[in-house]
Amino acid sequence: MNNQGELRSFERFMITERKSFYTIKEYKFLISGFLSYCNKDISSINFEDIENYKNFIVTEKQYSKASQYLAMKALKLYYKFKNMDIPPNLVPPRRSQKMPVYLNQKDAGTLINGCDNTRDKAVISVFLYTGLRVSELVNLEIGDVDFEENIIYVHAGKGDKDRIVVMPDVCRDCVKVYMKERIKIRSNNNYLFISNKKTRFNTSTVERMVKRVGERSGIAKKVTPHVLRHTFATSVLRNGGDIRFIQQILGHSSLATTQIYTHIDDSTLKEMYSMHMPKY
């Protein structure tokens, strides 16, 4: 079968479904692997073929539970694209409920101070003080920042939803210093954060930059944009923030997603134990 033509049609369908660039890229890859493995028309694929594929991605491809989950979601969408009934065995495994990795307050401050230029400091500050996703940060435009109201407008975030996030003064000041340099740079785009080539940052470049700053700052943990998002949410919760407020500012469609932040961090755990430990 002509997999390339099929994948292009599937891509167009996902665009009409308002899927993000990253979801489209990932789902195309997963469906390409599925079609290559089965090597037959979708109408001929049966229950046993799907079971064999599920076994293949676990034993041969060694997909993690998270990747297995995405593969099943991609297949469900593909069957919807084909206007076919979803097979009953397209059931993803339960994903592991791991405690999110985050930085403590001291390391977060060290990270900000470890930046050696205004752009990187502004990027790190936005992550730590707003909880933006890396995909949202790279799509910010100059006009999305309101310095008077201390607000950043996030357009078409995950789930194609708009929202606002608040900047405290310390974050606003970092972005303001960088903005003075940004508006002097002649480029053919209005993106807030741009690369040395004057083009929009891509997510992998930002991830490498954050990792580099973390290593240079001497932080033992591997620092990623998602770790900084976890750090923001954990800090807000620790300081008494309501879980529904955290859900809204992070842009979660479901409160269940936000519940991962209701863990008790090490320092709070020790404090609570000291207050309520057994008195023998």
Active site residue 76: no
| Helix ranges (DSSP H) in 60-130 | 65-81, 105-113, 118-130
d(CA 271, CA 33): 50
Single out the catalytic residue among 54, 119, 121, 133. 133
Single out the catalytic residue among 121, 172, 229, 230. 229
Single out the catalytic residue among 76, 158, 211, 238. 158
Helix (H) or strand (E) holding 59: helix 47-59
Active site residue 82: no
Active site residue 252: yes
As given in the structure block, the two tokens for residue 13 are 């369908």
Single out the catalytic residue among 27, 78, 178, 261. 261
Single out the catalytic residue among 73, 226, 238, 263. 226
What does DSSP say about strands 151-154 and 163-166: parallel, antiparallel, or unpaired? antiparallel
DSSP 193-239: SB-TTSSBPPHHHHHHHHHHHHHHTT-SSPP-HHHHHHHHHHHHHHT
Active site residue 226: yes
**Which residues, in sequence order, are CB contacts of 18 under 8 Å at separation 6+?**
160
Active site residue 261: yes
**Catalytic residue numbers, as ranges:** 133, 158, 226, 229, 252, 261
